[in-house]
Amino acid sequence: MAPTADPVDRLDPVILHHVVNTLGWPNLRPLQQAAIDPVLDGEDVVLLAPTAGGKTEAACLPILSAMSAQGWTGTSVLYLCPLKALLNNLIPRVDGYAQWLGRRAALWHGDTKESQRQRIRTDRPDILLTTPESLEAMLIGVKTDHAHLLGDVRAVVVDEVHAFAGDDRGWHLLAVLERLQRVTGHPIQRIGLSATVGNPRELLAWLQGSGAGRRAGQVVAPGLTAPSGASSAQVPVDDGAGPPPGEVELDYVGSLSNAAKVIAALHKGEKRLVFCDSRRQVEELGAALRARDVTVFLSHASLSADERARSEQAFAEARDCVIVATSTLELGIDVGDLDRVVQIDAPGTVASFLQRIGRTGRRTGSTRNCLFLATEMDTLLQAAALLLLWGRGWVEPVVAPPEPRHLVAQQLLAAALQEHKLGDQMWPEQWNGLAPFDRSAAPILRHLTEEGFLDTDGGMLFIGPEAEHRFGQRHFIELTASFTAPPQFTVLSGRTEIGRMDPSVLTEERPGPRLLLLAGRSWQVTFIDWGRKRVFVEPVESGGIAKWSGGTLAGLSYELTRAMRDVLLGSDPPVTLTRRAEVRLQEWRDEDAPHLVHPGGTLIARRGNDIRWWTWAGYRANATLSATLSSIADPVQRPTDCYLRLREDLSPDMWRAALDAVQAGPALVLPDVDPRAVRGLKFSAALPQRLAVATLSARLADFDGARAVLAEPKRFSTGQ
């Protein structure tokens, strides 16, 4: 259909009436207007805007108009989110819009009661809000007739699509959508809602899956003028990227205790959202603020759903208060009208910073703001570097993790469960030819049959006894999650669940009573049920300890680490630096930088027997260099973000011979992986050990960064 002069005229008149009279909007935002034509024309789209940019309405208003105009019946729209909390936050809004047209939306995720699920099965909603994991559970579950419930799906909205695309949940999402398309028997329109990313064109192609290059699609962003297929660099990024507008300040406070002092003293009477990048920091800062009589709430993944909901609701309704959170509040969960965002230390990406600063400045006349409080010298440098990249208008590209062989194995088992039997030659059709779930997966399929995960009979594949043994508990629920969660104990005060804690806190030798810190409060352990992994506690005044294991070894990126080098060489970010921050950065530059950086190339510095190659290339590039230059790299080291430790007996001849061998050799070498790390790769049990190790090695490598370092001039320095 040819676009009209004003795309708004294509929206259903009832929707237009409610936009003006119910929402009180005089007009739609540019993003919402620009989304109407491609969404109503059935194109795949990525809607790109900062936090609070109106992306939900940009998708919902034209989709509801299409639903009405084309007479869609049954459950015709899926709305997928990465977080249950985000779904809980969205359902009233999406259902409200649907009711304008006499339609309705419903919610289905891991916390949804069975009675509510049964109601959805028998009386299908028009829009179903869910997670990819719950969607796959519907496909393989024995209680759900997935063809009846999902056979009429016409469109899928993927909220926070960038959060999926950058990790294994993205591969899982794509594979499940391909299988869903087989259920419906027709292509499904895909609409992604994304915050600012560095490669929106590639993100759109990724979201299209097997339809990339065959289906019409476009990136929709305010001010977008580049033609379809243009470089992502031509896509203008909305405000929040690049230097201010906004108030951004960088301070050095030296400790988490000092950060609590600053937060307690500043901006009294205002609502402040404080981001930390570990659950332990959230707990310790929350306790320190509470000790200073600050009204404080906490949110992180190891708190119970009820505890998080209570905190977020109380914070949304209060005024003079602080909520301390991990990245759980980085995505679009509404916690009311914020005055300030505070960042302890620094997030690992510019994209995360954009999400966080985007929580402020929503009121008319207010500006976006963020105060960075660095508790260590290293994190001060990282924060300055991140803000330097932001000032340059740079945002990370979203890249799917390479070689997801473990998820190929998972999908083969899930498809066998869904279909009850798969043809041993026809199985790739389940994913419509999407790599790597295509015929290239044959070695993985062969392993699954040889090890008993799949049985074969008469040219058909069935779930085998080993799959039943490994994943069959609770109707194969473990088979629907693409990530491994470390074991945790549930902490209970009476009958109230507080959250979950790492078991090491319960087993470490410590004098006196065993005290935990959870939900910003201290608790004394009264009883441990080891079999059911439950801990019973009662409140005490102070002294609790917070600890969680796990986390990623990915380290910092090449670009961020290079920006740290630029800061040491004298570049300042375009933000306000406090006097303390200025002094500390200058100390770095005057005292340490001469031994760490040189404007003419990388630096190899010897101090006694310690020889370090200051590459400033990021963790993954340094891991790649360590494996490639194994003849001169210290064999008993773990790579760091900034340097590579070399053998203490390194000579100039050894150095030249190693570099010559790399230049003459066939390729760079994949980093070594400890075979024990395979245990953290979900479904690795369904892979040959060599393929599981190869997957982790590929994900640890950064060949581009390593090549860039090898091509640079190298200087030798002898320190004292």
Distance CA 414, CA 426 (A): 15
Token pair belonging to 669: 């070498």
Q: What is the pLDDT of residue 235?
A: 36
What is the C-alpha separation between 146 and 507, in angstroms, rounded?
A: 45
Query: Dihedral through CA 256, CA 258, CA 262, CA 264, nearest 10?
Result: 80
The whole-number pLDDT of residue 228 equals 34
Query: What pLDDT score does 432 carry?
Result: 94
d(CA 19, CA 22): 6
pLDDT of residue 332: 64
Q: What is the pLDDT of residue 365?
A: 67
233-251 core/surface letters (b: 16 or more CB in 10 A; e: else)? eebebbbbbbeeebbbbbb
Q: What was the pLDDT predicted at 612?
A: 93
Please provide the DSSP assignment of 173-184 as one string: HHHHHHHHHHHH
3-state secondary structure of 211: helix
Interatomic CA distance for residues 193 and 702, integer angstroms = 28
Task: Pick the closest to residue 377 from 683, 585, 164 (CA basis).
Answer: 585
Q: Which string of b and e fits 80-100 if b means at least 16 CB within 10 Å? A: bbbbbbbbbbbbeebbebbeb
Question: Cα 710 to chain center, whole Å?
Answer: 31
Element (H, E) at 80: strand 77-80
* pLDDT block averages, 10 residues each, the chain of length 720: 74 96 93 96 93 88 97 97 89 97 95 94 97 94 93 97 92 97 96 91 96 93 47 36 68 97 92 92 95 92 85 82 87 75 95 88 77 96 97 93 93 93 90 94 94 93 91 76 73 92 83 89 91 91 83 78 97 96 95 92 90 95 94 87 92 88 84 79 87 91 95 78
CB atoms closer than 10 angstroms to residue 152: 17
Q: Buried b / exposed e across 439-463, counting CB within 10 Å, b at 16+?
A: eebeebbebbeebebbbeeeebbeb
- Residue in 605, 607, 640, 601 with CA at minimum distance from that of residue 622: 640
Give the burial class of 520: count Cβ atoms within 10 A of its Cβ; 0-12 exposed, 13-18 middle, 19 or more buried.
Answer: buried
> Is residue 457 within 8 Å of 424, Cβ to Cβ?
no
- Between strands 77-80 and 155-158, the pairing is parallel
Whole-angstrom Cα distance, residue 399 to residue 407?
17
Distance set, CA 147 to CA 182, 183, 446 (Å): 10, 6, 29
Measure the CA–CA gap between 117 and 179, rounded to whole angstroms. Answer: 21
The one-character DSSP state at 156 is: E
DSSP 267-322: STTSEEEEE-SSHHHHHHHHHHHHHTT--EEEE-TTB-HHHHHHHHHHHHH-SSEE
Domains of the chain: 7-234 (3.40.50.300), 247-391 (3.40.50.300), 489-540 (no CATH), 596-718 (no CATH)
Reported as a single tens digit per residue, the pLDDT across 259-309 is 999 999 998 888 899 999 899 999 999 999 999 999 999 988 889 888 888
Position 629: which residue type? L
Measured torsion, CA atoms of residues 668, 674, 679, 684, in degrees rounded to the nearest 10:
40
pLDDT at 236: 35
Q: What pLDDT is stored for residue 234 in this prediction?
A: 32
How far is Cα 400 from Cα 207, in angstroms, rounded to an integer? 11
What distance in Å separates the CA atoms of residue 639 and residue 491, rounded to the nearest whole number? Answer: 36
What residues form DSSP beta bridges with 297?
323
Q: Report pTM.
A: 0.89
SS3 517: strand
Q: How many CB atoms lie within 10 A of CB 571?
A: 14
Q: Is the peptide bond before 436 cis (omega within 30 degrees of 0)?
A: yes
| 290-325 CB burial, b ≥16 within 10 A, e <16 | beeebebbbbbbbbbeebbeebbeebbeeeebbbbb
Whether the Cβ atoms of residue 346 and residue 386 lie closer than 8 Å to each other: yes
The closest of 328, 357, 364, 322 to 51, measured between CA atoms, is: 357
Contact 375, 344 (CB under 8 A): yes
Q: How far apart are CA 640 and CA 644, in angstroms?
A: 7
Distance in angstroms (rounded) separating the CA atoms of residues 64 and 95: 11
Q: Is 16 exposed, middle or buried (0-12, 13-18, 19+ CB in 10 A)?
A: middle
